[in-house]
Chain A
Amino acid sequence: MSENVLHLENVTMQFGGVVAVNDVSMDVNEGEIVALIGPNGAGKTTVFNVITGVYAPTNGRVSLRGRVIAEDHPRGKMRKMYAAGHLGEYPRSVNNTPDRITRLNMARTFQNIRLFKSMTVFDNVLVAKHMHLKANFFSTALHLNAREERRMREETMELLRIVGLENECDEIATSLPYGQQRRLEIARALSTNPSMLLLDEPAAGMNPQETEDLSAFIREIKDRFGLTVLLIEHDMNLVMDISDRIYVLNFGALIAEGTPAEIQSNPDVITAYLGVAEE
């Protein structure tokens, strides 16, 4: 089997008395496209936010290529309120801010597009190169790092060409059509040179044609950049089309895992999505 990239172990996220994510363990392996699906409010985005460091997990551990990026256990008031299992198994407390996790080569996009509104398409992608900047504050401010700046601009232009936005590079980002904004957001994430990409509902609000283009696009960038992809999605056509494996979340807990074919025929999943027929 290929190497493990992302590993979640008994991750629980509890807000007050609400258990948003309950004891979730999952694995994403090198080169896979894995989908995380589930009905609205199942806790998918919360899982993403735990992985990317927006939230510290209440209990559990997240590791990226064998390196623990988040680990915690209930503390303070939460110790009494804690409602899930595996207590005491994670004594350490490891926290990383989202920017540090991005610097560990894991980039993400957002469910509701979050582009830099006042900036051009070009600058949106260029700014993601900032984290790789080697020159210090003063030499950057005085433009003494011309070679580095030039390289950043070249790489940005190259990336825009790959994603097919080179003709729009001077437009203000938010003036693009919706589908292209999605594409731009993915390009911006790619600009940080990730090896793992997290996509939060990339097809939300797209029409069937755009969705089809998107799935081809995701496959293309995955091959070209050697990515491992974890995505949240509601659009089942897209999910079934591109995923190697699927995890299904319902009320914060995993209820199924498997290939698209297995998931489609899983009775628990069908119940979760469609409800139980009354007698």
Chain B
Amino acid sequence: MTNGKPAVRVKKLDRATLLTIIVIALVYVLAFVLEQVMPSTSMLFTVLKKGATYALVAVSMNLLNGFTGLFSLGQAGFMLIGAYTYAIFTIPVAQRLSVYQYYDGGLIQFSLPVLVAVALAGVFAALFAFLIGLPVLRLKSDYLAIATLGFAEIIRAIFQWDKIGLLTNGSNLLRLFPTFNDFNIRNAQGEVVLHLSTLVPFLITGVCVAFIVLLINSSFGRAFKAIRDDETAAEAMGINLARHKMLAFCTSSFFAGVGGAMLAMYANSVQAKSFTTAMTYEILLMVVIGGIGSITGSVMSSFLFVACSEWWLRFLDQEQVWNGWKVPLLRNGFRLVVFSVIIMAVVLFFRKGIMGTQELPDLFRKRRKLNGKEGGRS
């Protein structure tokens, strides 16, 4: 069974990992090529852009809920902070007067490069996470979930507060900042010569997810999993619980903040009231459907989820007539009914989600897959 195992087990670039890298590279090439040849109004690109955004947030939530065992529901709050940070720092100075029309152009009269602002979005979200984490991370399971949920609601209310309108524009929209479409390269006539509006979000998500994957496979990732499996034992093995929970919480929030910035770019505008609890639940659903503890699962289910809700199930919302026969039930809102039923079915019958705790390379390793199933969690 264990014949031929090297004496020292250092992870190497094996065949499965190599295949995984090739598959991921192909997806990127495909996204790039499709964007050049297909009309940019196609629903596909909407799904890909939004999917990439949600994939990052879902993976960041999985890092916390799936790998560290901290059941937090503050994701929408951290996305809000990220989205606002990005928007506030990137609106061009010339446009500020029209955006902050009730606040004399707002407080900040400069704008930062897009990628700097995206990174800053993550930093601010992580900073808030640190402050909130100090009291909140002492709580366990459901209590932590409720506390973080409460935090997200409070943040949403505060950002709409009139008194800080100089910064946040009160309850009004923030808009006119650079969006995904601004990544397209245009010629002097304003025609797009190279479409990058899908590739760039893919790249941002790719880099962030790659970091999370590396983190999970590092010594810190093992410590996180140890905390998830047994807090008492992890502490007895010299793992400082407070410090490691805080690290996981801040890292997760950092990427939720970056995801928030991406959502702002996707939606072209930011308004605090759209970052509802329902958004956190949607992300939680993606994590659960994908498989708690599987990065691959989270990414796949994010795209599937977005595709279903935005595209594939759209037809359910329109009345349709086939050969003079009016299909029953199809009307506005029916999509959500079907969607809920699908979700219930998944949660009831596929509790491990699409991937369980497996990752993409595991699919290329047949034998290990079997081992994992036999000895996996019961």
Contact = CB atoms under 8 A, between A and B. Distances in A.
Contact of A102 (B1, B219, B238, B293): B238
B241 interface: yes
A143 B214 contact: yes
Interface stretch (A7-15, A167-175, A222-230, A258-266): A167-175
Contacts of A189: 236-237
Interface string B215-231: 10111111101101110
A116 B225 contact: yes
Interface stretch (B5-13, B70-78, B275-283, B300-308): B5-13
A117 interface: yes
A54 B293 CA distance: 29
B8 to A, nearest CB: 5
A235 B215 CA distance: 44
B218 A140 contact: yes
A115 B376 CA distance: 14
B226 A171 contact: no
Interface in A3-62: 52, 54
B235 interface: yes
A113 to B, nearest CB: 9
B218 A141 contact: yes
B237 A131 contact: yes
Contacts of B223: 127, 130
Contact of B238 (A99, A110, A171): A99
Interface centre among B230, B293, B357 (most CB of A within 10 A): B230
A239 to B, nearest CB: 23
A98 B236 contact: yes
A237 interface: no
Nearest to B377: A118
B236 A108 contact: yes
A129 B230 contact: no
Interface string A187-219: 011011000000000000000000000000000
A192 B235 CA distance: 12
Given A119-B225, A170-B371, A140 B239 contact: no
A199 B377 CA distance: 27
A140 B211 CA distance: 11
Contacts of B217: 143
B181 to A, nearest CB: 32
Name which of B225, B237, B372 has the most chain A CB atoms within 10 A of its CB.
B237
A99 B230 contact: no
B13 to A, nearest CB: 12
B371 A102 contact: no
A116 B238 contact: no
B240 interface: yes
Contact of B9 (A129, A157, A175): A157
Contacts of B233: 110, 114-116
Given A110-B233, A114-B236, A169-B2, 10 more contacts: A52-B236, A99-B235, A102-B235, A118-B228, A128-B238, A141-B215, A153-B8, A167-B1, A171-B375, A175-B375
- What are the 9 closest A-B residue pairs judged by CB atoms, nearest first? A131-B238, A172-B375, A102-B238, A114-B233, A116-B229, A175-B375, A141-B215, A127-B222, A128-B237
